[in-house]
């Protein structure tokens, strides 16, 4: 469709309103915020001095500075994540972000819950320790000593642990070389429990040795006094108390989230927004009283953003056209049917701001190329349904592309009379490629010539729009290259069909003239502009040597571009031939069930393998044969700043 025209938005407002304004801008999902200080330094940031309020704002530019990092913001984000964990909230719905009040008292809300959050965390830690000791009680019931005494030894260190069979074998083998006393205290499944006792001075060495034996520590020492039996009794009593206290806190939490869910989630959303606000402030500037913000916005969103700012007093918003030399992002505006093809377009590059948007042309030609090479009503229906399924599962862009390619395949399937490779079920509305091989190949070349013709025209227009007159008129993909392309076709028609629109001798003369113009394109362009003739790095000979090689490349590319489109017909023929191969194998089995299985397998192979090949080959024709003619792709994408819920 088109590349939307952009405006640069410059905003000056009071620091007290800054947070709310940033959030409102992010909610619109319409502004690509840029480096404001760079705008000011380049004298691009402007506001009308006819407004007396702007006199002060202009003077405040003398005190311009970046925003400092706000540690309190980082603390709020950390607190918000604590609250989400406390309430068991995985994500915040967008409606709570829209209703958030950035002036709310987040600190007071958090402080009221902090005690319960900390206590619940401590209870869970204690219960985890108790559970671990409780589960391993059987390992220590035979240790009839005060375990707290072992934990508080001054010159020795004690630790319980588990060894597997391999570890026990290596322990027995090297026991005489270990500076530690190791006692067997119990058995669990196929593993054994040991108590290791050794001097503090050799702790590092013993740690290394035990680690090599795959020693697994069991934490029971130091928390309680008494023997293992006495500790177990104390554990049961404490466990009961902690479980009761935990239940009280959880009941309070559940009641709060049930009765005041909206308020809780709005507070959390506001605290989380602090992180996004800090990200935006990196691109902004401030003075003593005001903040300054700049960003690109599409002309279709200007009125909406004006209404958003209308509720604020003492704010100045200015929209201006891009200045010469500014780097302008590209915002593509396409109908919903063609929008998914932007994904494949951007894989090659983003159109420049002054470049024509090729999405519609690309989408139409890509569907035709795919359908022509993979024309089958049944298999196309599989692609169509698969695309719908993928789209519903989350990947809407690629799902939509696949469904459109499937629809194109179905259309060509009707034209070819092919259903799951079988050409006998329905009549062909146009042709059967396998029975009309010459027509299929010739038609592919003619179609390719037509696409290349349009590509040259679009390329010429694009280069004129970006004021690249040298390549537009004298480049290999410009007017001279286009002339050689047409003259080459004329020679081909003369040789094959004895049809000559332009006499052969004149055709050769015109080709030579076009080639000469291509070699001298730079000096000719500079002469026409009235500029002094010069060469890059002053290397005139290098320029003309390179020019000769470029001529050879141009001639070869014109021929190869045309021949490349033979693959369209070749794949259409191959599609039928591959099915016939599986059909022949099925008939050789001489069994209806076996024949059916072979045909199903054949269709799966064709859909998976050939479908992928056709997808790639269609994309190759677009990228290498056509994009090289008309698509510059040297722009950068307009990406609106917004509140990403997935970040939460």
pLDDT tens per residue, range 337-373: 999 999 999 999 999 998 999 999 999 999 999 999 9
Residues in the chain: 648
Rg (CA), the chain: 38
DSSP calls for 81-127: HHHHHHHT-----HHHHHT--TTS-HHHHHHHHHHHHHHHHHHHHHH
Q: Tell me, what's the pLDDT at 422?
A: 86
Q: Tell me, what's the pLDDT at 647?
A: 43
Distance CA 267, CA 252 (A): 18
All domains in the chain, ordered by first residue: 3-67+284-332 (3.30.70), 145-226 (3.30.70.2750), 340-629 (no CATH)
Closest to 55 (Cα-Cα) out of 310, 290, 284, 286: 290
pLDDT tens-digit readout, 279-324: 899 999 999 889 999 999 999 999 999 999 999 988 889 999 998 8
Q: How many CB atoms lie within 10 A of CB 85?
A: 13
CA atoms within 13 A on the CB side of 568: 32
Annotate 432-482 with three-state secondary structure: CHHHCHHHHHHHHHHHHHHHHHHHHHHHHHHHHHCCCHHHHHHCCCCHHHH
Q: Give the CA angle between residues 533, 537, 539 to the nearest 5°.
A: 75
pLDDT tens-digit readout, 114-152: 888 888 888 887 777 677 666 666 656 666 666 667 777
Quick one: tokens of 12? Answer: 């000056």
Sign (positive/negative) of CA torsion 307, 311, 312, 315?
Answer: positive
Closest to 568 (Cα-Cα) out of 402, 453, 445: 445
**223: pLDDT strictly greater than 60:** no
DSSP letter (8 states) at residue 483: H
**375: pLDDT strictly greater than 90:** yes
Distance CA 164, CA 189 (A): 10
Closest to 322 (Cα-Cα) out of 343, 297, 345: 297
**450: pLDDT strictly greater than 90:** yes
Quick one: tokens of 275? Answer: 């992180």
**176: pLDDT strictly greater than 90:** no
* pLDDT more than 90, % of the chain: 38
**268: pLDDT strictly greater than 50:** yes
Rounded (10°) angle between helices 540-564 and 504-519: 130
Q: What is the pTM of this model?
A: 0.75
Higher confidence at residue 76 or residue 369?
Answer: 369
pLDDT band at 583 (very low <50, low <70, confident <90, very high): confident
Distance CA 637, CA 351 (A): 8
pLDDT tens-digit readout, 522-544: 888 888 888 888 877 667 888 88
Beta bridge partners of 33: 295
Q: Tell me, what's the pLDDT at 1?
A: 58
Q: Tell me, what's the pLDDT at 362?
A: 96
Q: Where is 630: in which H helix or E strand?
A: helix 628-630
3-class secondary structure, 240: helix
Distance CA 69, CA 314 (A): 26
Q: Please state, in angstroms and as integers, the Cα–Cα distance from residue 51 to each residue in 10, 54, 56, 314, following that order.
A: 15, 5, 10, 11
Q: Tell me, what's the pLDDT at 103?
A: 67
Q: How many CB atoms lie within 10 A of CB 35?
A: 15
Average pLDDT over residues 491-505: 85
Tell the residue number behind the tokens 């959390």, with chain if given. Answer: 268
Q: How many CB atoms lie within 10 A of CB 172?
A: 9
CA atoms within 13 A on the CB side of 118: 6
- Tell me the average pLDDT of the chain: 85
> CB under 8 Å to 101, separation ≥6 — which residues?
266, 270
Q: Tell me, what's the pLDDT at 646?
A: 45
pLDDT tens-digit readout, 8-52: 999 999 998 998 899 899 989 999 999 999 888 888 887 766 666
Quick one: tokens of 412? Answer: 């060509």
Q: Please state, in angstroms and as integers, the Cα–Cα distance from residue 457 to each residue in 97, 356, 471, following that order.
A: 48, 12, 13
Q: Give the CA angle between residues 113, 117, 120 to the nearest 5°.
A: 140
Distance CA 590, CA 153 (A): 85
**387: pLDDT strictly greater than 90:** yes
Q: Tell me, what's the pLDDT at 292?
A: 93
């Amino acid at each position: 469709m088109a590349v939307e025209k952009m405006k640069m938005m410059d905003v000056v407002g009071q620091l007290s309103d800054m947070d709310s304004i940033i959030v409102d801008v992010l909610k619109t999902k319409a502004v690509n915020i840029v480096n404001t200080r760079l705008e000011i330094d380049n004298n691009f940031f402007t506001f009308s001095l006819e407004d007396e309020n702007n006199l002060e704002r202009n003077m405040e530019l003398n005190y311009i500075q970046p925003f400092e990092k706000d540690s309190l913001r980082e603390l709020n984000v950390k607190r918000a994540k604590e609250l989400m964990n406390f309430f068991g909230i995985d994500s915040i719905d967008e409606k709570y972000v829209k209703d958030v009040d950035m002036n709310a008292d987040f600190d007071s809300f958090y402080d009221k819950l902090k005690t319960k959050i900390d206590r619940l965390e401590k209870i869970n830690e204690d219960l985890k320790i108790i559970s671990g000791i409780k589960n391993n009680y059987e390992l220590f019931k035979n240790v009839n000593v005060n375990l707290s005494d072992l934990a508080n030894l001054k010159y020795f260190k004690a630790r319980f642990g588990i060894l597997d069979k391999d570890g026990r074998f290596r322990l027995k083998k090297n026991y005489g070389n270990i500076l530690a006393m190791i006692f067997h205290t119990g058995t669990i499944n196929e593993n054994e429990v040991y108590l290791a006792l050794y001097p503090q001075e050799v702790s590092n060495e013993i740690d290394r040795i035990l680690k090599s034996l795959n020693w697994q520590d069991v934490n029971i020492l130091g928390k309680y006094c008494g023997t293992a039996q006495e500790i177990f009794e104390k554990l049961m009593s404490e466990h009961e108390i902690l479980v009761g206290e935990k239940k009280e806190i959880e009941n309070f939490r559940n009641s709060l989230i049930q009765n005041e869910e909206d308020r809780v989630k709005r507070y959390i959303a506001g605290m989380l927004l602090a992180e996004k606000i800090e990200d935006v402030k990196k691109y902004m500037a401030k003075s003593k009283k005001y903040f300054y913000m700049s960003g690109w916005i599409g002309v279709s969103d200007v009125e909406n953003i004006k209404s958003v700012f209308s509720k604020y007093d003492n704010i100045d918003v200015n929209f201006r056209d891009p200045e010469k030399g500014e780097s302008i992002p590209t915002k593509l505006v396409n109908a919903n049917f063609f929008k998914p093809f932007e994904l494949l377009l951007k894989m090659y590059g983003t159109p420049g701001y002054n470049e024509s948007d090729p999405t519609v042309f690309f989408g139409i030609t890509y569907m035709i190329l795919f359908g022509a090479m993979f024309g089958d009503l049944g298999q196309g229906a599989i692609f169509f349904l698969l695309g719908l399924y993928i789209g519903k599962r989350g990947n809407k862009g690629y799902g939509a592309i696949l469904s459109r390619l499937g629809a194109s395949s179905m259309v060509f399937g009707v034209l070819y009379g092919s259903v799951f490779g079988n050409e006998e079920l329905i009549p062909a509305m146009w042709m059967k490629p396998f029975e009309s091989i010459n027509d299929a190949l010739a038609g592919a070349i003619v179609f390719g010539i037509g696409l290349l013709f349009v590509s040259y025209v679009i390329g010429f227009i694009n280069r004129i729009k970006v004021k690249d007159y040298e390549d537009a008129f004298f480049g290999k993909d410009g007017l001279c290259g286009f002339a050689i392309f047409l003259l080459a076709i004329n020679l081909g028609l003369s040789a094959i069909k004895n049809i000559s629109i332009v006499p052969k001798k004149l055709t050769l003369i015109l080709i030579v003239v076009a080639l000469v113009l291509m070699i001298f394109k730079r000096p000719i362009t500079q002469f026409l502009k009235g500029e002094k003739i010069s060469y890059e790095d002053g290397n005139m000979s290098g320029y003309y040597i390179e020019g000769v090689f470029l001529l050879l490349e141009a001639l070869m590319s014109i021929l190869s571009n045309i021949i490349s489109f033979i693959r369209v017909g070749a794949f259409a023929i191959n599609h039928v031939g591959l099915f016939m191969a599986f059909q022949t194998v099925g008939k050789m089995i001489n069994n209806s069930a076996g024949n059916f299985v072979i045909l199903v397998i054949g269709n799966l192979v064709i859909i998976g393998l050939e479908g992928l090949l056709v997808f790639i080959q269609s994309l190759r024709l677009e990228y290498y044969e056509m994009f090289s003619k008309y698509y510059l792709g040297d722009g950068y994408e307009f990406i609106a700043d917004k509140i990403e819920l997935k970040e939460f």
